[in-house]
Every structure is written in C-alpha cells, then in structure tokens.
Amino acid sequence: LAMHYTSDTMTAFSSVTHICRDVNYGWLIRYLHANGASMFFICLFLHVGRGLYYGSYTFIETWNVGILLLFAVMATAFMGYVLPWGQMSFWGATVITNLLSAIPYIGTTLVEWIWGGFSVDKATLTRFFAFHFILPFIIAALAVVHLLFLHETGSNNPIGLNSDADKIPFHPYYTIKDALGFVLMFMVLLSLVLFCPDLLGDPDNYMPANPLNTPPHIKPEWYFLFAYAILRSIPNKLGGVVALVLSILILAIVPFLHNSKQRSMIFRPISQCM
C-alpha cells in the first residue's frame, strides 16, 4: 500500500482509487488492511475482557503495558483513517486533533504544531502517514515488553492456580489450537472483505475531503464509538477530552480495586451471569 499511496492532499484520494483499480489485487489488499483493523480490535477487546474476567490485571506491570499498547493501537488506527483523505478522514482528523485545544494555555499552539499549519493539510497528512508506518513497529516492541513482564510471573489461567503441573508441549497442542483460531478469524475476515467490504466503513469517505462542507454526521469507526460517545455526552470541551482519555485509562485503576480473596469474576455466580 505504501508503495502506491501518496501522502499529498492533491493526490491522496486518487492514489487510493488507483490502488483499488490499477494495482494487482490492490482492492483486496486495501480492504484486508481496513477490515483487518476491525478484526484486530475485536481481538483486543476480547483480550482485555478476558483479562478483566479472569483477574489477569493482578499482574500490574503486564496490565499497564497492555494499556499503553491499547493507546498506541488506537493512535495508529486514527492516523491510518485520515490517510485516504475522504470527507470523514478530513473531518475526523479535524475534530479529534482540535480536542487538544481544550488544554489550558498551550492548547491552540499545540494543535497548530500537530497540524503543521492552521488547518489539517498536507503537512498533517505527511506526518500522519509517517507515524502510521512507524507506530506498528513500536507496538511490536511494546508487545515484546508485554510478554517480558508476563514471563516474570507466568501466565494466568481460568482456575487462577499455579498450572506448572498441567503443562503440556507447545507443539502440537497449542500450535494446532492457535492455527485453528487463526483460520477461523481469517475466514470471518475474508467473508467480510469479499462479500461486504464497506459494511463497517463510512459512505462519506468515498467523497474527497472538502474543508468547506461538513458531513451531516461525524462519527468514527465502530471500535472508537465508545470513546467518542463519552466525549460527545459531556457538554464541556475539556471535560469531554478528560472523559475520553479516562474511558481507556480507567483500566489502570482496576488492579487497585481488587480487595477480594476471590480472583475476579470467575468464582462469583452473579458475575458469571454477566
């Protein structure tokens, strides 16, 4: 994609069109990339959910690195969404970067520094492309740190007890299990890409960015809706921004709320019903 994409406001939109029309299997790569992000977020949310359910947050270092990872992935996804330079790309970038202007005293200067000018323009697009490319490598490095901290304690399991006695060889048992999971996820992804690739996208993004015309409904991709809904539900700008950040950062307080002798929700019948 990076070989054919151009991070210039005049050509970005048409370069994506060129990828879909003229590049060999470009349409497939583009939709696998866009919908692959959705599948990735599904996996992330499931991973965070099982961490909450099985009390994995008691490994505080691992948990905190995981929160950093979630922030990094969300930043990457946001910057990637801006690149096709459609209407929703432009206005999404404008709305979200503008939130930093709510920071007292330095807000406006900060926003213009991120934009590289007085609006979302070529400078913004170029730097977002660079960051969208580099951040996944930072995420990969953070994932190694995530595993490093997990390796210190050993992994958690549904019973919450030491499982050394139950250890089995990684191959063939876990390799088969992981391969099956991968194949199932990939089948879902391929079905989505080949039958309804635009199901999760926004039709507005098929219109080139127009700074003079605001879309009637500015909304993010589904995986940001929880954060965006919290942002929009608070009338105060700064309050909304704080709530948006806290909607993810709240995960950091979970280990400190754990006062019970029971580990998380596993052994509580009412929690199990949830």
pLDDT on residue 231? 97
Catalytic residue among 132, 202, 221, 264: 221
Tell me which residue range forms the domain holding 166. Answer: 39-181+211-273
pLDDT on residue 268? 84
Report the CATH number that the domain containing residue 102 is assigned in CATH. 1.20.810.10
pLDDT bin (cut points 50, 70, 90) of residue 45 is very high
Better pLDDT: 151 or 272: 151
For residue 69, being part of any structural domain is answered with: yes
For residue 29, being part of any structural domain is answered with: no
Q: What percent of the chain has pLDDT over 90?
A: 91
144-165 pLDDT per residue, tens: 999 999 999 999 988 888 889 9
Count: domains in the chain: 1
Active-site residue, 155 included:
yes
* Mean pLDDT score across all residues of the chain: 96
For residue 249, being part of any structural domain is answered with: yes
For residue 196, being part of any structural domain is answered with: no
Active-site residue, 178 included:
yes
Active-site residue, 146 included:
no
For residue 252, being part of any structural domain is answered with: yes
For residue 13, being part of any structural domain is answered with: no
With vertex at residue 215, the alpha carbon angle to CA 211 and CA 221, rounded to the nearest 5 degrees, is 110
Catalytic residue among 22, 152, 178, 198: 178
Catalytic residue among 22, 33, 155, 191: 155
226-255 pLDDT per residue, tens: 999 999 999 999 999 999 999 999 999 999
Is the pLDDT at 264 greater than 80? The verdict is: no
For residue 11, being part of any structural domain is answered with: no
Catalytic residue among 22, 177, 258, 260: 177
pLDDT on residue 261? 83
Is the pLDDT at 136 greater than 90? The verdict is: yes
Active-site residue, 221 included:
yes
* Calpha distance 16→84 (Å, rounded): 6
For residue 228, being part of any structural domain is answered with: yes
Catalytic residue among 8, 151, 198, 258: 151
